Amino acid sequence: MKDERTELLTAGNIAKELAVSDTKVKKAIQELGLKPAAKKGVCNYYTRDMLNKIKSAVK
């Protein structure tokens, strides 16, 4: 069983998975009003559920 923390992604990792720029992902996150599932220092982490919403917004 996977640990839930392993399913958290940064905006940069989401951009790599979707093969789009970091800027597009960050803009989509802002437009959708998504809040990070976790925050460590200055890094925001998002869940796989949010990845699907972001994917729809950037395509």
Q: What letter represents residue 46's amino acid?
A: Y
Residue scoring higher pLDDT (15 or 1): 15
Report the alpha-carbon distance of residue 14 to residue 10 in Å, rounded.
6
Strand partners, 44: 39
Q: What letter represents residue 17's amino acid?
A: E
Q: Residue 45 is encoded by which pair of tokens? A: 């982490």
Q: What separation in angstroms does the CA of 5 have from each of 1, 8, 9, 19, 39?
A: 12, 6, 9, 23, 11
- pTM value is 0.82
Q: What is the CATH number of domain 4-58?
A: 1.10.1660
- Dump pLDDT digits (tens) for 41-56: 999 999 999 999 999 9
Report the alpha-carbon distance of residue 48 to residue 50 in Å, rounded.
5
